[in-house]
Structure formats: C-alpha cells, structure tokens
Amino acid sequence: MAVSSIEECDVLIDMINTMLDITEAEAGVNETKDEEFDLVTLIYDACELFRPMVDEKKMELNVNLPDTLTFRGDKKKMQRVVTNILENSIKYSAEHGIVNVLAASDNGKVEIVFKDTGIGISETDLPHIFERFYRCDRSRSQGGVGLGLSLAKAYTESMNGSISVNSTENQGSTFTLKFVQ
C-alpha cells in the first residue's frame, strides 16, 4: 500500500513538473541555454535508450544521419524533444513496424524527421495532439498522460524551432522539427 502511494505521488510530481516546464517554456521565462553540441550523438544516444523496446517489438529502427551535425541550442531540452517523439513513434507502432529517423542541415537550417508505420492519427485528433493532456482515443490504452507532445512543442519553439505532423490512420505519422541556426 505504501509503495503504491509513493509511486502515485512520484507520477503526480513528474506530471506537475512537466506542466511547469511547458508553462515556463511557452511564457519564455525559463532559461534556454545556448550551447553547441553534436545533434547526431544526441539522436544516436536516444535511439540506444529505446533499443530494448524496439527489439521487444521486433521493429526496424533506421537512422539516417550525417557523420556530425553541430547544433546550437539547449541540449537538455533537445534530448527531451527527441526522446518524446521517438518514444511515441515506437510506442504507437505495431510489432514488426518501422521507424525512420533522419536529420540534415543546409545553409543554417536543421531538420529532424521521425517517420513511423504506426497507428496514425485521425483527422479529428490531429489539430489537438499538441494540447496538454490530449490523448487520442486510440492511444488511451497506452501509458502516458498526454504531456509529451505539448512539452516537445514548447521546447522546440523555445529554441526558435517549429514542429509539424502529417499522419494517416493505420499508415503512420511523420513528425518534422525545423530550426534556423
């Protein structure tokens, strides 16, 4: 009983902290570090983090990245953005599904694309997926509280980037992050 209560409290604390992070990022009051780091290493590290989930679902995770891609922004925020979107791509793909991660840079513009063969998002749900606590009907059976994409959007925008999604039900989704460096 006590362990269960502690776990529930931990979940609530995490949810409250995430809400605060989103609110601060949207209001522009949180500190966004301006540091230089290798985006390729960050993405590969995120992919390795989810390797057990990919292997368990017998999925294919394809990563198409340049040898190095220097990025200027907040490394911790970018880690959260990449892991949130990557986790969703894997979580909402069926066994034997495919997730492709691509990144490129051209004339100071950086683009990161996550494309999956998952369940997709309905046209009705699509306009709402970046709203706090919004969960598509088809995703309610999965864990989570509906804050991951809200946080990804807030953090992306706090680094002067944009996030967009294209999706077709039962075919998959493509999330695209764009930054001007």
Sequence-distant (6+) residues with CB within 8 A of 22 are 132, 147, 150, 151, 154
DSSP letter at 137? G
In a domain, 57, yes or no: yes
The domain in which residue 117 lies consists of 32-180
In a domain, 7, yes or no: no
Cα 181 to Cα 54: distance, rounded to the nearest angstrom: 32
Give 63-105 pLDDT, tens digit per residue: 999 999 999 999 999 999 999 999 999 999 999 999 999 999 9
In a domain, 25, yes or no: no
- Which residue pairs from 139-147 have beta carbons closer than 8 angstroms and sit at least 24 positions apart in sequence? 139/92, 142/91, 142/92, 144/91, 145/15, 147/15, 147/18, 147/19, 147/22
Give 121-137 pLDDT, tens digit per residue: 999 998 888 887 777 75
CATH number of the domain within which 118 lies: 3.30.565.10
In a domain, 143, yes or no: yes
What value, to the nearest 5°, has the Cα angle with vertex 140 and ends 95 and 63?
A: 40
The length of the chain is 181
pTM for this one?
A: 0.84
Number of structural domains (the chain) is 1
In a domain, 173, yes or no: yes
In a domain, 2, yes or no: no
Confidence of residue 16 (pLDDT cuts 50, 70, 90): low
